[in-house]
Structure 1
């Protein structure tokens, strides 16, 4: 820190302008957990994992210690259990994180906040206030927030909203291979569930139709029942349809990112460029005062290339049409930034290359 008196007002102004938290908006299998873990490793951070996860509805103090990565998760080792930071919000002999509601667990894509949002906002505000009261910066890692990103930006303008973007082929392949290897259908089922529970929204219906998605032919009595039906459907889902569903959800989430985030994290570049990793660190430093180390990022694009022979049950060559349709959908939305459209076009070109070898 400079000791030049002339610089002190500017430094004070910069300090007051720093964002007072990080909302990390990610998708399933986007490498968001690893990015979050790099922020969580900082002494000044309280890292809340998946604050919308339905696991939190039944979590108990006794469960916390066991909430660690498993072979079937594909996640990196963590220094502390996933849900360690929720201990102050749990009561001995009871289940459920204070303020959490199970309906938070389904992402929504309506243009205006739903009836649950005031409770959701109060829940997140309570987590933020607890961390801030301890002199810590709250960092949230979401997988169920992208549809609600505009709502959250308006509700929490004091936080930095960062979005994680990974090309759709690599992201889908990560979940598809986990299903093949460990019979874990969650990541294949998730797009069907989110799309199905939001299909009355015109924008979602348009994405479903333009990507040619066939949803599970069920009418469920509840969100939970529909989730179960989607997992059953995913176990025998035709591979091409599963990928189309994934791309439909991916482009909807990308569209929400296009509304404007404070920082875009390109996972594909992160593992390929030390310069980009250093620049990302500087971006966090400038906006939040946090300085996470991303130098250990893996080249996930190359890993997708190496796993191509294991991607069975999908005609990769036919996926070019899906990528093209999704990009066309994005371009048709008014007000979308040209530079962002170009970024998504690059992701689709990369996805064309990666899926070419899938059979």
Structure 2
């Protein structure tokens, strides 16, 4: 049974960890989870919570996925065990929470979602635990959450090119991954992206229910080239962080977290100062940048996305979005050039052979 939020010890104020997919959020969540007196909820907006059972919780562990997550054989969702309703599903959760309303402005009302969050927070606090909620589906509604649940809000950010390549690397065949499909769906949550969405031929998916939204974009874009996937991802990335960064209490650059010991120590101190918890990030190992990438005109597409979203001024503004501008600039400078196509390679080879042949003929004629 869900316990409503009541006045509590300030030391039990909730902590929220917001990020996109493939952005080290599972690692950061696992470091909070390792602390005594913490109840760390994993992906509390995930659609699977709608039908979750004790049996499913028991078998869903990091070692049984292809996602390269830490955690071994301990179930991701163990913290939800006491909240499973008699007929299955986490009490108070609705599947629409997963993607509908990904972008919620601070003044918008969603009483059911507010009650769900209050129930998770209150359940932990009633047991004397600090609630930590880590999720990849909340970048667009941090302001909404802060005004309703309070707490300390951490935002994780990663090099956008490496983040998208992590999506792409999980493809089993030339079809988009779950993560790519979600980016297509989320484009509909931002009115600013409507023009680009139409240009990329991403269907409007609002009002179709969770499964319907995924099915609509999967059917239309199951053979879309990597360039379309990258453009959609980058649009959601930019618009999400433009909304999230000004609301963050702490921003963690996960590209530095595993490579810069001084930065890691600074982050640990900032977390402790902000929420009283001291997670240990000393074992963080940031993946090396991928040295292979699909043949996509990354720089040209990035310029086009920024132009179509009309966010050049917002990205160049001083303040909270400076890190976002830096991430985009660095990713675009380092973006790999598309590999030449087979036809271009063949043409280049033929031109080279023609020149060699012409030289040989001229020499023979001169002799």
TM-score normalised by structure 2 residue count: 0.81
Question: Post-superposition shift, 1:204?
Answer: 3.9
Following superposition of structure 1 onto structure 2, how do residues 1-359 of structure 1 map, counting pairs within 5 Å?
A: 18=11, 20-69=13-62, 70-78=64-72, 80-91=74-85, 94-106=87-99, 107-111=101-105, 114=108, 117-157=110-150, 159-180=151-172, 185-196=177-188, 198=189, 201-205=190-194, 208=197, 213-216=200-203, 221-300=208-287, 303-304=288-289, 307-309=290-292, 311-322=293-304, 325=307, 329=311, 331-332=313-314, 338-359=318-339
- Secondary structure in structure 2 of the residue aligned to 1:293: coil
**C-alpha separation in 2, matches of 1:82 and 1:328:** 39
**1:88-125, Cα deviation, whole Å (9 max, x unpaired):** 11145x2110000111111432535555x211111111
Q: Give the 3 Å change call, closer, same or farther, for CA 191–205 of structure 1 in structure 2.
A: same
Q: State the match for 1:3 in structure 2.
A: none
Q: State the match for 2:358 in structure 1.
A: none
Larger Rg: 2
Q: Give the 3 Å change call, closer, same or farther, for CA 213–267 of structure 1 in structure 2.
A: farther
Q: Give the gaps of 5 or more residues in structure 2.
A: 1-8, 340-367
Contact 2:175/2:223 (CA < 8 Å) preserved in 1?
A: no
Q: Give the 3 Å change call, closer, same or farther, for CA 42–234 of structure 1 in structure 2.
A: farther
Q: Give the 3 Å change call, closer, same or farther, for CA 96–216 of structure 1 in structure 2.
A: same
Q: Please give the root-mean-square deviation of Cα atoms over the aligned residues, in Å.
A: 2.8
Q: Give the 3 Å change call, closer, same or farther, for CA 263–22 of structure 1 in structure 2.
A: same
Question: Post-superposition shift, 1:71?
Answer: 4.0
**C-alpha separation in 2, matches of 1:353 and 1:144:** 28
Q: State the match for 2:365 in structure 1.
A: none
Contact 2:246/2:320 (CA < 8 Å) preserved in 1?
A: no
